[in-house]
Amino acid sequence: MQERTQFYINGQWVTPSSSDSIAVHHAGTGAVMGCVPAGGDKDIDAAVAAARSAFDAWSQTAPAARAEFLAKIAAGLKARADELGKIMAQEVGMPIKLSGRIQAALPIATFGNYAKMAADFQFEEQVGNSLVLRDAVGVVGAITPWNYPLHQIALKVAPALAAGCTVVLKPSEVAPFNAFILAEVIHAAGLPAGVFNLVTGLGTVVGEALVKHPEVDAISFTGSTRAGKRISELAAQTVKRVTLELGGKSASVILDDADLATAVKGTVGNCYLNSGQTCTAFTRMLVPETKYEEAKALAAATAKAYTPGDPMAETTRLGPLTSAAQLERVRGYIAKGIAEGAELVTGGADAPAGLANELRGGYYVQPTVFGKVDPRSTIGQEEIFGPVLSIITYKDEEDAIRIANDTIYGLAAGVWSADTARAQKVARRLRAGQIDINGGAFNMNAPFGGFKQSGHGREAGVYGLEEFLEYKSLQLKSQA
């Protein structure tokens, strides 16, 4: 059992303002695996006051010194990588082998990357008679999701610290234990008191208190589009800077000259990563009308290889969903797809067969493929956040581009073609922030973020650092 009873505020572990707690469930079994404190307004007030008090000194700390702290944090996380991988496999449900490679390894790399960047970044430059400075934006409220919990924390906390900002972190209450490990690592690294603060609780309580707080200068949020709209409304009252990374309904556009088997396999694998609980998941597979039957057969065969199983088993390819609420949501969308007339190719809303007794309380769903999906239907338009693929047919290239762009989202996409130049030409016309060409690999230095209701602002690389900086110009008088 994991039991956390304190918050990390002003460089020390402190007792919350109330004794309320939140139970955290093991995704694979449904059993309670521990609890965390449920904070309130007073806890946020204390954390923000600590961050505000620490800001002046931290923002004036030499970038090289900030880089040293970030490097220590990266090293501290690396020393606890196995522990982090196991914790997040239980919290989130990602299979243990992948959890170590993704859930634990990416945040470690991110802190290390920003350590190098803080040391090398040009925080000032001469422009004519002006000295243009890049100043820290101030106190940052970071609100993070449960699907890639520590990765999303790292993408906010690391660049904010590198920029000279102080941070109050509100992690997801669904997968919070990794954030407490980070706080322990930060404490051991000797980061000055108040520079990093951790408060857990419900989004409607501590999240809203953080967003509304007049001493918070910027909010960085990753989560649902619905919550992002609420944050924008609240933050507008104090004219805060807001960075939003929200939902997606990403299209994988398979052109008529693509290697169909490779493209379908790559699309299904992308769609099912983390049991489909990935904002960039390729949940819409667009194929030429003439290749539908072949694509459907390939997708079904690929999907059936993703047998749901215990996330703690080394051989598991598809773990459970993260929560009971998410399981109900995904099953509801599968039922909706059937009701609206899509062809159920494989899978369905029923629980997977063959689960061991100890796993039957877990949040498992069958890997599902729908065919002949109407692009304007519910499952063709709304983010499901589960291992559910919709196959949509198109007439020609223009039709494919139209369908791919015809959602409220614009986070990611994929294009597959034997002709790379053709694939890039199509990709340039897609309204999405990140587009993979023929399965191109994730680049942690490229900007990450979306168009339309997928949010605004960018994370990762130098682009993520710039979200936490303000321009200041000093107009210098000539000495001549």
Q: What per-residue string of b and e applies to 255-279 under the rule 16 or more CB within 10 Å gives b?
A: bbebebeebbbbbbebbbbbbbbbb
Residue 384 pLDDT? 98
pLDDT, tens only, 107-143: 999 999 999 999 999 999 999 999 999 999 999 999 9
Residue 413 pLDDT? 98
User: How many angstroms separate the Cα of 435 from the Cα of each of 90, 411, 415, 424?
Assistant: 31, 9, 7, 9
* Domain residue spans of the chain: 2-246+454-474, 250-443
Residue 339 pLDDT? 98
Q: How many CA atoms lie within 13 A of 216 on its CB side?
A: 30
- Has residue 442 got a pLDDT over 80? yes
Query: How large is the average pLDDT for residues 335-357?
Result: 96
- Has residue 424 got a pLDDT over 80? yes
pLDDT, tens only, 149-188: 999 999 999 999 999 999 999 999 999 999 999 999 999 9
Going by pLDDT thresholds of 50, 70 and 90, the confidence category of residue 478 is confident
Query: How large is the average pLDDT for residues 25-31?
Result: 98
Question: 388 and 350 in contact (C-beta within 8 Å)?
Answer: no
Domain 250-443 is classified in which CATH homologous superfamily? Aldehyde Dehydrogenase; Chain A, domain 2 (3.40.309.10)
Catalytic residue chosen out of the listed positions 173, 245, 459, 467: 245
Structure tokens at 334: 């599968």
Query: How large is the average pLDDT for residues 181-201?
Result: 98
245 is catalytic: yes
Catalytic residue chosen out of the listed positions 35, 165, 271, 279: 279
Query: How large is the average pLDDT for residues 33-37?
Result: 98
271 is catalytic: no
pLDDT, tens only, 44-67: 999 999 999 999 999 999 999 999
Structure tokens at 219: 């909010």
- Which residues are paired to 170 by β-bridges? 143
Query: How large is the average pLDDT for residues 4-19?
Result: 98
User: How many angstroms separate the Cα of 191 from the Cα of each of 43, 48, 54, 80?
Assistant: 20, 16, 11, 18
Interhelix angle 149-163/81-92, nearest 10 degrees? 130
Structure tokens at 192: 């000055």
Residue 80 pLDDT? 98
Q: Could you tell me which of 71, 82, 61, 78 has the C-alpha nearest to residue 164? A: 61
Decide whether 2-246+454-474 matches 250-443 in CATH topology. no
Q: Could you tell me which of 70, 28, 107, 49 has the C-alpha nearest to residue 319? A: 28
Residues 6+ apart with CB under 8 A from 246: 222, 223, 224, 225, 228, 279, 409, 411, 450, 453, 454, 455
What is the percent of the chain with per-residue pLDDT over 90, rounded to a whole number? 99
Fold of 2-246+454-474: Aldehyde Dehydrogenase; Chain A, domain 1 (3.40.605)
Residue 1 pLDDT? 86
Q: Could you tell me which of 191, 202, 196, 183 has the C-alpha nearest to residue 84? A: 183
User: How many angstroms separate the Cα of 47 from the Cα of each of 15, 141, 165, 206, 368?
Assistant: 12, 10, 14, 11, 44
Residue 480 pLDDT? 63
Residue 479 pLDDT? 75
